[in-house]
Chain A
Amino acid sequence: DTGVSQDPRHKITKRGQNVTFRCDPISEHNRLYWYRQTLGQGPEFLTYFQNEAQLEKSRLLSDRFSAERPKGSFSTLEIQRTEQGDSAMYLCASSLRQGLDGYTFGSGTRLTVV
């Protein structure tokens, strides 16, 4: 287990379609985070999990977005009825101890909505 894995790396979808992304964190990390990054901006927080519990969601996460971490291991982020404004890099990160360890980011999933 060498890092945080995200799948797919790239996704092109038509407006209105649903997409799902997967993140596999570092195995011993109990905290998992989803961020969104658009060109020229810093990552923006979407949501985070401690084990299987989703403990915080950003207002950026509209009702079209849902995230799960059913067994406290991998996580999925689903976007329903995609819009062009959803085009971004979706980054997953994990950490062991908040405030004591930095995040380890995955390579991200680049979503393009056409």
Chain B
Amino acid sequence: GENVEQHPSTLSVQEGDSAVIKCTYSDSASNYFPWYKQELGKRPQLIIDIRSNVGEKKDQRIAVTLNKTAKHFSLHITETQPEDSAVYFCAASRYGNEKLTFGTGTRLTIIP
């Protein structure tokens, strides 16, 4: 089955700096890669996703890049703000296999 590894497990950055979280996956057939943000005590919320037919996707301060050859994808947050502090999870799945396999999460702390 699919295995998703996520690094780093914790990340602290100064407010205004950029943050990068990286994930690798094992199933070369995976073609859908969402990222979720989970604030303390709250539900995971989808913040951005990418499909394997594109290499990069941006939404305001958030971007995701995908390298299919290397089987890794990354989340980039620019101009970080205190409200970006949360746990971020990457995930992967492939069409025809309904389940998402999640990474172990990255706790991002923005230092004011």
Q: Interface on chain B toward A: helix, strand, loop, or mixed SS?
A: strand
Chain A: CB-nearest residue to B46: A102
Q: Contact at B89–A42, with CB atoms within 8 Å?
A: yes
User: Does chain B have a CB within 8 A of A62?
Assistant: no
Residue interface mask A2-32, B partner, CB < 8 A = 1: 0000000000000000000000000000010
- Cβ–Cβ contact B104 & A41, under 8 A: yes
Complex Cα spacing A109 to B37, Å: 18
Q: Assign chain A's interface to a size class.
A: 20 to 34
Pick from B11-19, B54-62, B70-78, B95-103 the stretch touching chain A. Answer: B95-103
Interface size class of B (residues with CB under 8 A): 20 to 34
A interface, by DSSP: helix, strand, loop or mixed? Answer: loop
Contacts of B51 in A (CB 8 A): 99
Taken together as a complex, chains A and B put the C-alpha atoms of A31 and B36 apart, in Å, by 19
**Contact B98–A105 (Cβ < 8 Å):** no
A98 touches B46 (CB 8 A): no
> Complex Cα distance A45/B86, Å?
22
Asked if B99 contacts A48 (CB within 8 A), the reply is yes
Bound-state Cα–Cα, A100 to B99, Å: 13
Chain A contacts for B28, CB-based, 8 A: none
Judge whether B22 is part of the interface by a CB distance below 8 angstroms: no
Give the complex CA separation of A33 and B4 in angstroms: 19
Q: Can you add 11 more A-B contacts, CB < 8 Å, to A99-B51, A100-B32?
A: A31-B98, A43-B89, A45-B101, A48-B98, A50-B98, A98-B98, A99-B31, A102-B36, A103-B46, A105-B43, A107-B43
Instruction: For the complex of A and B, list the 9 residue pairs with the smallest distance between their C-beta atoms, beginning with the closest.
Output: A42-B102, A102-B46, A45-B99, A99-B95, A105-B43, A99-B32, A102-B34, A107-B43, A105-B44
